[in-house]
Every structure is written in structure tokens, then in C-alpha cells.
Amino acid sequence: MQHEFSHTVIREAYELSQHRCQCTDPNCPHHSDDEGRCRQILRWTAQDELARDGWRAVHIEPTGPGTIGNCQVLCSHCYEHAVATSRSTEPIAERRRLALATAGS
Ligand SMILES: [Zn+2]
Ligand SMILES: [Zn+2]
């Protein structure tokens, strides 16, 4: 069961990220930084948008709580990569839901 983040938590995570993508996946192809981090600047009003500075609040631990300690912000590119590699929680939850939906029929 996925625990949704409250708006307060999302806002806090966004502030804590200093408005930058927090992706540290070494396999993520979008990182040009020397430290292997993304650092894409995120626009607050672009949450859930696919814009260059769009972003998502995602769970660090998929089954963890919807708290600030379990929340990170990813730019739309890194989010898509996370979805593609099933590293992120949302696609896993999505897949589980689909599996459940097909299992019953
Ligand atoms: Zn990123
Ligand atoms: Zn990334």
C-alpha cells in the first residue's frame, strides 16, 4: 500500500532539495555533472509536468511512509528513467495494481 505524500511534505521535500533534482542513480543517462548527479533545476509550478524543469515527488522506499524522510524530488527526465527501470515506487505500485486487476478476471 502506497502512502501518499501530503502537500506539506512535498513542499518541504522541494525546499530541502534546494529546487534541484535529487536523482543519484549512477545508471541514469541524464547526468552531466562531474559528481554524477542530475542537478536539474525544478520549477515549483511544474510539478507533475513533463517540461524540462518539471518534476515529481517520489517515494525513496516504495512501501515506506509518506513522510519527508521518505520523499525525494526527481526531474521529469530522471523520473522517466526511474519508471523505465522500475527503480521508483510509483511504477511498481502501478504494476502491482495492474497485476491485481488482471489476476481477478
Ligand atoms: Zn534529474
Ligand atoms: Zn537521474
State the ligand closest to the CA atom of 73.
1
Helical packing angle, 76-85 and 89-103, nearest 10°: 40
Give the percent of the chain with pLDDT over 90: 50
**Radius of gyration, alpha carbons of the chain:** 14
Position 96 confidence tier, pLDDT thresholds 50, 70, 90: low
pTM: 0.76
State the ligand closest to the CA atom of 22.
1
- Compute the distance from residue 29 Cα to the ligand 1 centre, in Å: 9
> Between the CA of residue 13 and those of 89, 93, 99, what are the distances in Å?
16, 21, 31
Query: What cell was used for 104?
Result: 481477478
